Homo-oligomer: A and B are copies of this chain.
Amino acid sequence: MNAEIIAVGSELLLGQIVNTNARFLSQQIAGLGIDVFFHTVVGDNPARLKASIEQAERRSEIIIFTGGLGPTKDDLTKETISRHLGKELVMDESALASIELFFKRTNRIMTENNRKQALVLEGSLVLPNDHGMAPGMVLESGDHLYMLLPGPPKEMEPMFLRYGGHALSSFACSNEKIVSRVLRYFGIGEAALETEIIDLIDAQNNPTIAPLAGDGEVTLRLTAKHVDEIKAQSMLDEVEHTINQRVGDFFYGYDNTTLFAELTKSLKERNLTITAAESLTGGLFQQEITSIPGASSVFKGGVVCYSNDVKQQVLQVKQETLEKHGAVSEQCAQELAENAARIFATDIGISFTGVAGPDDLEGKPVGTVYIGISIKGRPTHVEKLNLGGTREANRNRAVKFGCYFILKYIKDSQNAK
């Protein structure tokens, strides 16, 4: 049993809006144990919409439409389906009543074309619209289930959650549940990670294992099917355990978490505070940590020390250090981290100095990065990186590495205890 999602609307083809409905519905439908094999976006054009329907019927049992149920001339989803299936459009009295009520409540005059929204496909199950006017519809015809949903997410999402989902699962009467879990890794490339677990990927069936790379991170999406959801979860636990026995050093979290969310969490758990002295990264690290709500309990403030004057006068880096080793050096990174922690009276100080690009600096090539990490009561680490990317990529990867190193060190120090 598989499904296909057809979004109707020229605004999507012009790039005026993003098709978030397809994402929402895909997540929901997967949870019902139904496979989604295709998304299609087609404009407000009867001929091309008809062609899309015919093609969907050739490859999918369930066809879900979003959009084109509005009152205006270019809304023609149900009209096109009506002609295609030879089903009349009939007035749905309860839908009409709720539309009239809507206008009464908002003291607006109801125009004739609003009545059009209360027309539904004969023989269809009508899905009430609790957040707008256009009702949804579910119609079984031939071997297919057709579901029509409104385009605006704030109408479509609650309609599907409250009414649409049940109609689908009873049609699919699939008793299999699909559960999915995302494992997030940093510090290892997609190819290298896959090489580590290639035998598992080759042997995959249920659960499936899908790698995905982006922003210098790699994720693995595990998906299991089973009638018993608890069993499906334990199948995921098992594969996760096997995978992380091999690449667990690079694992940092699940699903939609981020390195900075994990960092803030572990600092809170350990009652640790942090500050930063940022040259290379110009405030990016502090910007990222303060983007996490509640960061104020672990982060009080820090300095962007872009020029050598600021490094010396505000962060008390020795003139000798800058003259002898330069600003892009292990020594400078160490002093910046240690002095920042002292000046801001925090447990941890992190510093970033390096060459973001486009030009070399102090004879050091673009991508040279020193990250200083001073943790109270422990020797200061300075990590050197050679990042080969653009200015933006080098800055982004540098702060992520900084995050990753701190997470590693405070975990290690704990394990050491």
- Interface on A for B, CB 8 Å cutoff? 9-20, 22-28, 30, 36-45, 48, 51-52, 55, 59, 70-74, 101-102, 105-109, 111, 113-114, 130-131, 152, 154, 180, 182, 189-192, 194-195, 198, 201-202, 210-215, 221, 223, 276, 278, 281-287, 289-291, 293, 295-296, 299-307, 309-310, 314, 343-344, 357-359, 365, 367, 386-393, 395
Contact = CB atoms under 8 A, between A and B. Distances in A.
Given A40-B40, A282-B295, A300-B310, 5 more contacts: A13-B38, A15-B30, A154-B393, A276-B304, A283-B290
Contact of A105 (B108, B300, B367): B367
A16 B283 contact: no
Contacts of A210: 10-11, 14, 44, 74
Given A190-B71, A283-B283, A301 B290 contact: no
A300 B358 CA distance: 18
B23 A17 contact: yes
B302 A307 contact: no
Nearest to A290: B282
A212 B11 contact: yes
A304 B290 contact: yes
22 contacts: A12-B26, A14-B27, A15-B24, A18-B22, A37-B43, A71-B190, A72-B190, A72-B191, A107-B386, A111-B189, A111-B195, A114-B191, A276-B304, A282-B283, A282-B291, A283-B290, A284-B287, A291-B391, A296-B306, A300-B306, A301-B309, A302-B303
Contact of A152 (B9, B213, B301): B213
A303 B43 CA distance: 46
Contact of A14 (B51, B221, B303): B221
Contacts of A72: 190-191, 194, 201, 211
Given A48-B38, A287-B287, A295-B306, A390 B130 contact: yes
A22 B38 contact: no
Contacts of A211: 72, 74
